[in-house]
Chains A and B, each alone.
Chain A
């Protein structure tokens, strides 16, 4: 029973971060049609920004949400308005654009990663934050982990409400379903695409801030998060917001359960899940 509870709580903690990471990638792909290989790099960049503010200036890690968030949002928006917009105008159709966009993202991946390595080296980094246990029933859970879970859930809920309730959120969902029809109703598609790419960056930044509070990271660990985001998105269904959140939690719980046995097996099991899913239900758990 204790083991079950420990796995469930820790799995949800891991899953909440996965959900956040996947939500960002999903927004970028679902609306802007960019499969962003560089997603994880911006997560890591934000983790380093958080550490720098915390260790260097003594600022609470949450402050980094308001620093890394806008920085990555702005970088992403400008990247879309310049690079991706140009590539889109040069591509004959959306399929060709998707292919070209992956190449662009690869370029950005290498540039960002190497700039980070130049600045912060490749040693494992991290900092101590709320490093004490909290008793939940029979289980001991690290306080920083619970803090991360809380904030990840808050961010997911706020983003979900933004999509469901606001004018811009509805335009984003409409553009994801039928960009041409949305344009006919007066939605500025290029702006919405740039905005969605930037929101994906914002969510990556938030994920990076939270991740830095609970685990060590290196300038080269970005691809791990990108991979996880891909897996969650396949699990939940491309472009499906609820699916990304549900998929994140499922993968987190499964991942944590496997890692209590053997940490090395985690990714092997993840790939197995993807393989089975692609055969049995290629559109994802909630996809149609």
Chain B
């Protein structure tokens, strides 16, 4: 049994179906990737896995327990963190306040002080500037803060939605390095990306989604050599 299992999930926005019979496994301790072009349904799947959307059909389990019928705060309390597309920071709140909100669910709020210290150790720059408004940070620093906020809940598993989007190649590399570091610390990673090459290099296993359907899956390195992936996603 995988740590997280998605089974035969269908999701619709009104009359428009966005996910069709999606199934995937996230094994504990691994880096699992989901690749796909714009509009393929990546964020829709993540929003479903975090309780923002309810599947019409199918189930999602975490450590054997159904989570597809739970509200977001309960899912976070179970140890799943979500770094949404674009970071979604609160621009008029300080770095410290943004971090604190990462521990909003009531069980986590109680331990937010030691958690803050842990994050400041992980990202010293956030501690040095804790009273700065997040609107005044650079793009890279913001992504750092978004990662810190996701880590506030002390997650066992973290979903990253297009972490590298909009970052310079150097900064993107930096961000992937942090992901690998978090993984080394024992966090199971689900990496949702359009940056196919870099992602496949660091992931154990990957799924490819097109028009709301999983069309391909395999080990990271083997997909790098896959003819279809080369042609459609790597432009080789």
Contacts and interface: CB of A to CB of B under 8 A. Distances in A.
Nearest to B83: A184
Interface residues of B, number: 24
Contacts of B105: 186
Interface stretch (B31-39, B95-103, B166-174): B95-103
Contacts of A184: 50, 52, 72, 82, 84, 88
Given A174-B93, A174-B101, A181-B84, A188 B71 contact: yes
B119 to A, nearest CB: 15
B104 interface: yes
B131 to A, nearest CB: 12
Interface stretch (A119-127, A138-146, A165-173): A165-173
Contact of A187 (B89, B93, B104): B104
A170 B97 contact: yes
B88 A181 contact: yes
B72 A181 contact: no
A183 B52 contact: yes
Contact of B88 (A167, A170, A173, A178): A178
Contacts of B84: 181, 184
A184 B105 CA distance: 11
Contacts of B82: 184
B76 interface: yes
B71 A182 contact: no
Nearest to A173: B93
A185 interface: yes
B73 interface: yes
B64 interface: no
Contact of A186 (B72, B88, B90, B149): B72
Contacts, number: 55
A182 B102 CA distance: 9
A10 B82 CA distance: 52
Contact of A183 (B72, B92, B100, B109): B72
A170 B94 CA distance: 11
B92 A182 contact: no
B71 A173 contact: no
B91 A182 contact: no
Interface string A176-198: 01101111111110000000000
B226 to A, nearest CB: 33
Interface string B140-165: 00000000010000000000000000
Interface of A: 167, 170-171, 173-174, 177-178, 180-188
Given A167-B109, A185-B104, A185-B149, 12 more contacts: A167-B104, A171-B101, A177-B90, A178-B88, A178-B90, A182-B101, A184-B72, A184-B88, A185-B72, A187-B73, A187-B104, A188-B73
29 contacts: A167-B104, A167-B109, A170-B97, A170-B100, A173-B90, A173-B97, A174-B90, A174-B93, A174-B101, A177-B93, A178-B88, A181-B84, A182-B90, A182-B101, A183-B72, A184-B50, A184-B52, A184-B82, A184-B84, A185-B72, A185-B101, A185-B102, A185-B104, A186-B71, A186-B73, A186-B76, A186-B77, A186-B104, A188-B73
